Amino acid sequence: MTAAENPTPQGLAAAGPAATAGPEALPDLVVFRNVTKVFGHGAGARVAVQDVSFVVPDLPERGELVTIVGPSGCGKSTLLRLIAGLEPHFPPTSGQVLVFGRPVQGPDASRGMVDQKYSLLPHLTVLDNIAFGLKLRGVGRHERKARALEWMHKVGLEGSERKYPSELSGGMQQRVAIAATLILGPRILLMDEPFGALDPKIRLRMQELLIQLWKEQQGTVFLVTHSVEEALYLGDQVLRMIDAPGRLVETLQVPRPDDPPETLRREAWFAASVQELRRRLEEGAPAAGDLPQRRAQRPSQGSS
């Protein structure tokens, strides 16, 4: 069903029992059921998100990349922190947030968060930052070190083991933060504008690295971004929000070909999608249906 045909404003499957319900069905990965979060009381009350419902199914051995876009203050960070179970955004004022079919109770190892500030520990070396979560889990020294070194390699930070975060560029700090989170193998990775502070070239490299690591880990990623191109390049689906109060307007499905971003950007359907999504964001438009579709590379044989 397309977003346009959907009677609910959320586009994606309406929140409810798992769409694939059956004896063998996996619970959905993340479900929001009419979630509202209000900060403060009385005259000072501020609605951060209102009546948000969506379902992200569990796709084992595949995972999904869900990107979230919308104007500042529309509740993007609130949405991520509700999934993470982080106060003060969690718990919701009303409605339900389910992860793996169970109401979220607070943070746990199934969900890892990488935010804008990178949250590195300044007094620890790069290697110890990456190994820190393993230490908290009681993993022994040797194994910790070996696994942290492996992750330093994966994110291209070999040689920086003994440096401290303050000695690294923004892009390198971001890679440390990603490694420190992914080393714990979360099924759900939450990223709040993770590449916002990076220059465009490093940003492209980080996007490709994220896709590569994501393919290896087969988890599901929720990524908040201000970049329309990034949302469309990275997302299998894009959640578009509007503000005052924060609401989810539509969920857009995006084909994600295996092409690098520079190639994709030159394709007409991609450029048209970027333009259309940007227009909808600027206008705060209501649900407006599918984005321009990618045409098959070759006409399919035997189609009538």
Q: By CB under 6 A, name the binding residues for ligand ADP.
A: 39, 46, 48, 70, 72-78, 88, 246
Closest chain position to Mg ion (CB): 77
Question: What is the C-alpha separation between 294 and 96, in angstroms, rounded?
Answer: 35
Is 77 a residue that touches Mg ion (CB under 5 A)? yes
CA separation for the pair 207, 263 (Å, rounded)? 14
Indicate if the alpha-carbon torsion angle 171, 172, 176, 178 is positive or negative. positive
Closest by CA position to 76, among listed 220, 243, 206, 287: 243
Q: Min. distance of Cβ 241 from ligand ADP in angstroms?
A: 7
The entry of Mg ion, ligand ADP, none that residue 92 binds, CB within 5 to 8 Å by partner kind = none
Which of 135, 37, 133, 38 is closest to 83 using CA atoms? 37
Instruction: Give which of Mg ion, ligand ADP, none residue 48 binds (C-beta under 5 to 8 Å, depending on kind).
Output: ligand ADP
Q: Which runs of consecutive H residues, i.e. helices, occur in 161-256?
A: 170-182, 200-217, 228-234
Q: Measured from the CB atom, is 111 or 154 closer to ligand ADP?
A: 111
Smallest gap from Cβ 38 to ligand ADP, in A, equals 9
Stretch touching Mg ion by CB under 5 A, among 5-13, 72-80, 84-92, 263-271: 72-80
Pick between residue 192 and residue 229 the one whose CB is nearest to ligand ADP.
192
Helix (H, G, I), strand (E, B) or coil at 101: coil
167: Cβ contacts below 8 Å, ≥ 6 apart: none
Interaction partner, residue 78 (Mg ion, ligand ADP, none; CB < 5-8 Å by kind): ligand ADP
The binder of 88, among ligand ADP, Mg ion, none, by C-beta within 5 to 8 A per type, is ligand ADP
Task: Note whether 13 and 55 are within 8 A (CB).
Answer: yes
Q: Say which entry of Mg ion, ligand ADP, none residue 39 contacts (CB below 5 to 8 A, set by partner kind).
A: ligand ADP
Q: Which residues bind to Mg ion, rule: CB under 5 A?
A: 76-77
